[in-house]
């Protein structure tokens, strides 16, 4: 028997009504070491080691995202983004838990303010898929006390209400789209009630990892709070599926601009050809490539980091071959986390980067 069929079996008979239901996808996320055993095909020693990784940094993969993996390829770009890797716990490779020093830019717990006119709020620490390259993987570290965000919401809102210079609030996490429509509605409503908050922004990977989350009901909820911008994170052209395209289209139809913030990841999208296909694919589905982030020096992600010179080389080639609408700003977080720095082309100098 193909070892992979063991893993796919439970979903074979799943009716479309369930598969297309984000709550089903969320409930059936592949989590923890036991599930990894089912498809890893590794020898027992390596399996045990991988279990160690998933204990340090939890695993969560939606059936949908898992279905995008070419399971014959251990270096598959989708698999590498969601499947644990032994190098994550080889801490001698460098990096720190919080390279952007977000924790020291929190005037109140859960609210990050690095710029005078905007702030970011952590609405949850949960994501549908835990990206192995995440720059907030510290929030899920088992050794840390997990942060319960809900009780922090009121102090965050009170702070925003007091700080009149804040005109833009970014809902982040974790992934805000793991919250119910009702919960999101309540948060957005409270923010909209603050007169000086002009613009809202949501950062979510849901269109990529669980596109069925974008429902007509969600779009109706979000529509009420425009101007509202939506940033997502496609990192590889294989993630641009008809389902993902439809999710983005629904947001656009609701009047919500969708932009993309990719992360430059070694072995995943660090080639001109892959990046071009990704950017042109995004343009085809009307998603604006906004930023290409240089992977932050987060502990346990060294194996994803690409040399800046290589990033620049890719950008340079792109600049000569794709339209300006396809071209993201290539930015790097400076050590200390004070600012993000464009690396590169003079024509992006007027862009102030902010994730
Ligand atoms: S969805 Fe975003 S916050 Fe969640 S793990 Fe991925 S990169 Fe991190």
CA 148 to centroid of ligand 1, rounded, Å: 17
Residue 309, domain member (yes or no): no
- Which residue's C-alpha comes closest to atom 8 of ligand 1? 134
What pLDDT sits at residue 20? 95
CB count in 10 Å sphere of residue 218 = 21
What pLDDT sits at residue 55? 86
35: tokens are: 């599930």
Residue 28, domain member (yes or no): yes
Task: Point out the ligand 1 atom lying closest to the alpha carbon of residue 130.
Answer: 5
Q: What is the H or E stretch that residue 330 is in? A: strand 329-333
Residue 33, domain member (yes or no): yes
**Choice among 82, 119, 131, 326 that is catalytic:** 131
The total of structural domains in the chain comes to 1
CA 140 to centroid of ligand 1, rounded, Å: 10
Residue 213 DSSP class: G
* Region for 301 from its dihedrals, namely left if φ exceeds 0, alpha if ψ lies in -120 to 50, beta otherwise: alpha
**Where does the chain have alpha helices with state H?**
3-12, 16-19, 22-27, 32-40, 44-56, 63-67, 77-82, 153-162, 181-192, 206-209, 216-223, 242-253, 272-284, 308-319
Tell me the residue length of the chain: 355
Residue 56, domain member (yes or no): yes
Model pLDDT for residues 267-308, shown as the tens digit of each residue: 999 999 999 999 999 999 999 999 999 998 899 999 999 999
- Ligand 1 neighbours, Cβ below 6 Å, are 127, 130-131, 134, 136, 173-175, 205
What pLDDT sits at residue 305? 94
- Block means of pLDDT (10 residues each) for the chain, 355 residues, are 45 85 95 63 72 88 92 89 92 85 92 95 95 91 63 92 98 95 96 97 98 98 98 98 98 98 97 98 97 92 94 95 94 68 56 36
Q: Which domain holds residue 9?
A: 3-93
354: tokens are: 């902010």
The dihedral sign for the CA sequence 58, 200, 160, 290: positive
What pLDDT sits at residue 283? 97
Q: How far is CA 137 from CA 4, 140, 206, 214, in A?
A: 28, 6, 17, 24
b (16+ CB within 10 A) / e for 65-75: bbebbebeeee
Residue 11, domain member (yes or no): yes
CA 167 to centroid of ligand 1, rounded, Å: 25
Residue 34, domain member (yes or no): yes
Residue 292, domain member (yes or no): no
Residue 350: active-site member = no
Model pLDDT for residues 160-215, shown as the tens digit of each residue: 999 999 999 999 989 999 999 999 999 999 999 999 999 999 999 999 999 999 99
CB count in 10 Å sphere of residue 17 = 8
Residue 296: active-site member = yes
Cα Rg of the chain (Å, integer): 20
Pairing of β 111-115 and β 118-122:
antiparallel
- Which residue's C-alpha comes closest to atom 7 of ligand 1? 134
Residue 174, domain member (yes or no): no
- Which residue's C-alpha comes closest to atom 3 of ligand 1? 174
36: tokens are: 């990894």
Residue 119: active-site member = no
CA 56 to centroid of ligand 1, rounded, Å: 16
What pLDDT sits at residue 49? 78
Pocket test of ligand 1: the residue of 61, 205, 213, 230 to mutate, having most ligand atoms within 8 Å of its CB, is 205
């Amino acid at each position: 028997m193909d070892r992979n069929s063991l893993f796919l079996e439970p979903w074979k008979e799943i009716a479309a009504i369930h598969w297309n239901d984000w709550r089903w996808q969320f409930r059936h996320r592949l989590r923890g070491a036991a599930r990894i055993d089912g498809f890893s095909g590794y020898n027992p020693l390596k399996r045990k080691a991988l279990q160690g990784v998933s204990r340090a940094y939890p695993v969560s993969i939606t059936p949908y995202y898992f279905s995008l993996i070419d399971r014959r390829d251990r270096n598959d770009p989708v698999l590498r983004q969601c499947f644990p890797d032994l190098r994550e716990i080889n801490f001698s490779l460098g990096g720190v838990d919080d390279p952007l020093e977000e924790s020291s830019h929190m005037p109140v717990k859960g609210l990050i303010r690095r710029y005078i006119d905007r702030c970011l709020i952590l609405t949850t620490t949960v994501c549908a898929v835990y990206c192995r390259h995440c720059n907030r993987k510290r929030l899920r570290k088992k050794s840390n006390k997990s942060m319960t965000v809900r009780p922090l919401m009121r102090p965050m809102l009170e702070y925003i209400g007091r700080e009149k210079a804040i005109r833009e609030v970014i809902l982040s996490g974790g992934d805000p789209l793991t919250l119910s429509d009702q919960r999101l509605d309540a948060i957005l409503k409270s923010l909209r009630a603050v007169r000086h908050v002009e613009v809202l922004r949501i950062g979510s990977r849901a269109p990529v990892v669980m596109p069925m989350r974008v429902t007509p009901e969600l779009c109706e909820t979000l529509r009420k709070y425009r101007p509202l911008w939506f940033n997502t994170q496609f990192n590889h052209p294989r993630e641009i599926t008809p389902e993902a395209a439809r999710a983005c289209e629904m947001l656009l139809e609701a009047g919500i601009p969708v932009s993309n913030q990719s992360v430059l990841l070694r072995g995943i999208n660090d080639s001109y050809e892959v990046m071009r296909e990704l950017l042109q694919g995004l343009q085809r589905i009307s998603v604006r490539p906004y930023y290409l982030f240089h992977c932050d020096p987060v502990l346990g992600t060294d194996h994803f980091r690409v040399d800046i010179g290589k990033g620049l080389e890719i950008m340079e080639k792109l600049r000569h071959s794709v339209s300006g609408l396809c071209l993201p700003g290539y930015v790097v977080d400076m050590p200390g986390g004070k600012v993000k720095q464009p690396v590169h082309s003079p024509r992006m100098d007027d862009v102030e980067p902010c994730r």
